[in-house]
Chain A
Amino acid sequence: MLRDYARTIFFERSREEHYMKKLLREFSKGIFIENPTFRLALGLCPTLAVSTSVVNGFGMGMAATFVLVGSNIIVSCVRKFIPSKIRIPCFIVIIATFVTIVELTMKAYFPLLSKSLGIFVPLIVVNCIVLGRAEAFASKHSVANSVFDGLGMGAGFTLALVVISAIREALGNGTFLGLTILKGFDPALLFILAPGALLVIGILIGAVNYFTEKQHGA
């Protein structure tokens, strides 16, 4: 009985033929087609705030991925018990729990990273990507699917963060992961300051629009 139940929540669609393929699709959609940052414009606040260096961006991406996967698993597990009226507060509690875990772990093991990410670690709790995936995906799909969805979205978010922070670090500090790229290049300080973040994301969104348009328009 219990085993049957576990089976349904884990492998709801296990009879489908291309099961692994589907999982993979759940994973890859987050990176490209539904990239949370560039395509859906979700979770922009932390993206802009912490992308001053690649290390910060990657750290933030990893933290958010952990919270995404964790909360997706729990939400998906309990999705059958939670009355739909109070589901949002329940999701928030689940997410907040994982955020607290990340917060304390980071403080203990990566104190420097924790310091430079500042209040944006606790702010993962109000990151629309996390709540959005819990509500739109995990509360309707099996655990396995939700895990891959969380991983994919997390990877997409991390990728976007790394891209943006690589651009900003290179232009604004002349470095990549702290290593000098080009000797004699005068970095433009603006890019690691607030206006630079808004500028880079604006141009990147424009570029993504341009290429999608080209692809569909031709």
Chain B
Amino acid sequence: MSGNNFTVSPAPHIRSGLSTRAIMYLVILALLPSGVAGIYIYGFSSLRVILISMISCVVFEAAFLKLRNRDPKIALDGSALLTGLLLAYNLPPEMPFWLPVVGGAVSIILAKQIFGGLGHNIFNPALVGRVFLQISWPVYMTTWKNPRWAVDAVSTATPLAKEGAPLFNYMDLFLGNHGGCIGEVCILALAVGAVFLLVMKIISWHIPFTFIGTVMLLTWIFGGDSMFSGDFTFHLLSGGLVLGAFFMATDYVTRPLTKKGKIIFGIGCGIMTVVIRLRGSYPEGVSYAILFMNAVVPLIDRYTKTRKYGLQK
């Protein structure tokens, strides 16, 4: 990390030997297959959303840094690019051009820079951007596009939509042959990236596996018409669960520090996701669940830390 002028950051110090910048670009690399799949499935419009979102994130970051008399070049450290990419992956493939711009502004300014920039944010920036858009313009955010090769051009609901969801087979879900957000749709591509991150030791298993495990267990118990009859494979393969569990809940800044904390965090995310999926009015609960648990992270850290440095109380 020599040569960069980061100020001293609070708790989430990165422990791996890699620099922040290297980690950011490796995560972006791990996300690429899924983006390629999204562009292949939905066509050019998804590439447009991804590019607009990434560019606006970097531009807003640089502008805000300039406003605070910091070096605007910090905006190229990869974190803004990653935020933009993740934001785009959580958006439908076709939408007015200004929507990703607003999303990028909210993610970068409201969720990240106002707290002091990288390492200081409490909530996951990309998710704040997505939830902001979801609450503000629910119509655009739920207008889905069918895969390019689908016969009927009329857009359909995502598999998780509660009323009138068409039936999907597991293979379609696994490969992404249905309507959905750009980056969450092809589970195969996401799995490739996730394995890469795990092998490179950029993320640990604790959060994603407890998160997904909890969702599967609870949907199996409560998801069906009677107890223990829920379709947990369906819940694993549809919606943003895999994307959220591997790439967003594991965000270095907004996750707990200890192993015990991560497990609590993962289970909490899982419970909230299932509660919203099965009972809430939104079709998808992953983003809300992660944001909710982000708010609890400081408390989790506080009570799972074995030893406190500095003054006791």
Interface positions of A (Cβ within 8 A of B) = 186, 188-191, 193, 195, 199
Q: CA A186 – CA B137 in complex, angstroms?
A: 8
A154 to chain B, nearest CB (A): 33
Find B138's partner among A189, A191, A199 (CB 8 Å cutoff). A189
Indicate if the CB atoms of B135 and A193 lie closer than 8 Å: yes
Complex A-B: 16 CB contacts under 8 Å: A186-B96, A186-B137, A188-B102, A188-B136, A188-B137, A189-B135, A189-B136, A189-B137, A189-B138, A190-B132, A190-B135, A190-B136, A191-B136, A193-B135, A195-B135, A199-B110
Using C-beta atoms within 8 Å of the partner chain, give the interface range for chain B. Answer: under 10
- When distances are taken between beta carbons in the complex, the residues of chain B under 8 Å from A190 are 132, 135-136
B141 to chain A, nearest CB (A): 11
Q: CA A34 – CA B105 in complex, angstroms?
A: 33
Who on chain B is nearest to A206 by CB? B114
Question: Which residues of chain B from 125 to 149 have any CB-CB distance to chain A below 8 Å in the complex?
Answer: 132, 135-138
Tell me which of B96, B135, B137, B138 has the highest count of chain A C-beta atoms within 10 A of its own C-beta.
B135
Q: CA A190 – CA B110 in complex, angstroms?
A: 14
Interface positions of B (Cβ within 8 A of A) = 96, 102, 110, 132, 135-138
Q: CA A132 – CA B102 in complex, angstroms?
A: 41
- When distances are taken between beta carbons in the complex, the residues of chain A under 8 Å from B96 are 186
Q: CA A195 – CA B138 in complex, angstroms?
A: 15
- When distances are taken between beta carbons in the complex, the residues of chain A under 8 Å from B138 are 189
Who on chain B is nearest to A191 by CB? B136
B123 to chain A, nearest CB (A): 12
Who on chain B is nearest to A195 by CB? B135
Q: CA A193 – CA B135 in complex, angstroms?
A: 9
Q: CA A186 – CA B138 in complex, angstroms?
A: 11
Q: CA A186 – CA B102 in complex, angstroms?
A: 12
Q: CA A191 – CA B137 in complex, angstroms?
A: 11
Q: CA A191 – CA B138 in complex, angstroms?
A: 13
Tell me which of A190, A195, A199 has the highest count of chain B C-beta atoms within 10 A of its own C-beta.
A190
- When distances are taken between beta carbons in the complex, the residues of chain A under 8 Å from B137 are 186, 188-189
- When distances are taken between beta carbons in the complex, the residues of chain A under 8 Å from B135 are 189-190, 193, 195
Q: CA A88 – CA B37 in complex, angstroms?
A: 68
A17 to chain B, nearest CB (A): 48
Q: CA A211 – CA B96 in complex, angstroms?
A: 35
Who on chain B is nearest to A171 by CB? B136
Q: CA A195 – CA B111 in complex, angstroms?
A: 13
Cβ-closest 3 pairs across A and B? A188-B136, A190-B136, A190-B135
Who on chain A is nearest to B98 by CB? A186
Who on chain A is nearest to B139 by CB? A186
Who on chain A is nearest to B135 by CB? A190
B136 to chain A, nearest CB (A): 4
Who on chain B is nearest to A194 by CB? B135
Q: CA A195 – CA B136 in complex, angstroms?
A: 11
Q: CA A218 – CA B138 in complex, angstroms?
A: 45
B16 to chain A, nearest CB (A): 35
Q: CA A199 – CA B111 in complex, angstroms?
A: 12
A205 to chain B, nearest CB (A): 13
Known A-B contacts: A186-B96, A191-B136. Give 14 more (CB < 8 A).
A186-B137, A188-B102, A188-B136, A188-B137, A189-B135, A189-B136, A189-B137, A189-B138, A190-B132, A190-B135, A190-B136, A193-B135, A195-B135, A199-B110
B98 to chain A, nearest CB (A): 8
- When distances are taken between beta carbons in the complex, the residues of chain A under 8 Å from B136 are 188-191
Who on chain B is nearest to A193 by CB? B135
- When distances are taken between beta carbons in the complex, the residues of chain B under 8 Å from A186 are 96, 137
- When distances are taken between beta carbons in the complex, the residues of chain B under 8 Å from A191 are 136
Q: CA A195 – CA B132 in complex, angstroms?
A: 9
Tell me which of A188, A191, A195, A199 has the highest count of chain B C-beta atoms within 10 A of its own C-beta.
A188
Q: CA A191 – CA B102 in complex, angstroms?
A: 14
Who on chain B is nearest to A172 by CB? B136
B253 to chain A, nearest CB (A): 21
Q: CA A40 – CA B182 in complex, angstroms?
A: 46
- When distances are taken between beta carbons in the complex, the residues of chain B under 8 Å from A189 are 135-138
Q: CA A214 – CA B96 in complex, angstroms?
A: 38
- When distances are taken between beta carbons in the complex, the residues of chain A under 8 Å from B110 are 199
Q: CA A169 – CA B237 in complex, angstroms?
A: 40
- When distances are taken between beta carbons in the complex, the residues of chain B under 8 Å from A195 are 135
Q: CA A190 – CA B137 in complex, angstroms?
A: 8
Q: CA A199 – CA B136 in complex, angstroms?
A: 13
Q: CA A190 – CA B136 in complex, angstroms?
A: 5
Q: CA A84 – CA B137 in complex, angstroms?
A: 55
B218 to chain A, nearest CB (A): 27
A191 to chain B, nearest CB (A): 8
Q: CA A68 – CA B132 in complex, angstroms?
A: 38
Who on chain B is nearest to A186 by CB? B137
Q: CA A121 – CA B151 in complex, angstroms?
A: 57
